[in-house]
Chains A and B, each alone.
Chain A
Amino acid sequence: KAGVTQTPRYLIKTRGQQVTLSCSPISGHRSVSWYQQTPGQGLQFLFEYFSETQRNKGNFPGRFSGRQFSNSRSEMNVSTLELGDSALYLCASSLATEGTEQFFGPGTRLTVL
């Protein structure tokens, strides 16, 4: 079974631009979660989607948004990029049953200049 894939793997943007990251979950997984990883803040939960509905969102500004498509693929968007948005963005998928683990993709490394 193919794992979670994320595209692109690396991205360089300048302040003020916007960016869209893509995530394809493991086949059959209907839940997709996004996390931001930085050296200072560690791993922080951004949001989670299940069957095209956002069920929860972490403590991030409205510049961070996402969506999920009917095939469970997900995208996240960051508008008006700031230097502090430089991070590794990880996507994870799961079966969304109680206690099941999340499977992570390799991440997208975003650098904001």
Chain B
Amino acid sequence: AQSVTQLGSHVSVSEGALVLLRCNYSSSVPPYLFWYVQYPNQGLQLLLKYTTGATLVKGINGFEAEFKKSETSFHLTKPSAHMSDAAEYFCAVSDARGGADGLTFGKGTHLIIQP
């Protein structure tokens, strides 16, 4: 069975500071990993994904994540936080059946940006 753990239900950073959101996964097969962002009263928007190939993945809005198989991690980073980054962030893992088993999500991390 797959599982995702996001460390820290709330993370607070100052505007312009580094953003680091942590995600660890458990999967019996090579994983497909995703980061989604959710703004209030909206659905989820894909930030980036890892399937195969380069372990450093770049996404939208300046975010990137690095897949580390040895650490079973897929942490999300952004060099300089912006007020508009305040939102809920979800890490997710997918199966190898084209999504038939759905995405397994972490509990989410609420990112707070301090002015």
Contacts and interface: CB of A to CB of B under 8 A. Distances in A.
Interface stretch (A13-21, A62-70, A77-85, A91-99): A91-99
B103 A50 contact: no
A35 B99 contact: no
Interface residues of B, number: 27
B63 interface: no
Contacts of B108: 42-43
B99 A94 contact: yes
Given A42-B107, A106-B42, A101 B102 contact: no
B36 to A, nearest CB: 8
Contacts, number: 74
Nearest to B45: A104
Contact of B100 (A4, A48, A101, A103): A48
A56 interface: yes
23 contacts: A31-B98, A35-B103, A42-B106, A42-B107, A43-B105, A45-B104, A56-B101, A90-B43, A94-B98, A96-B99, A98-B51, A98-B96, A98-B97, A99-B32, A100-B98, A101-B46, A101-B49, A104-B44, A105-B43, A106-B41, A107-B42, A107-B43, A109-B41
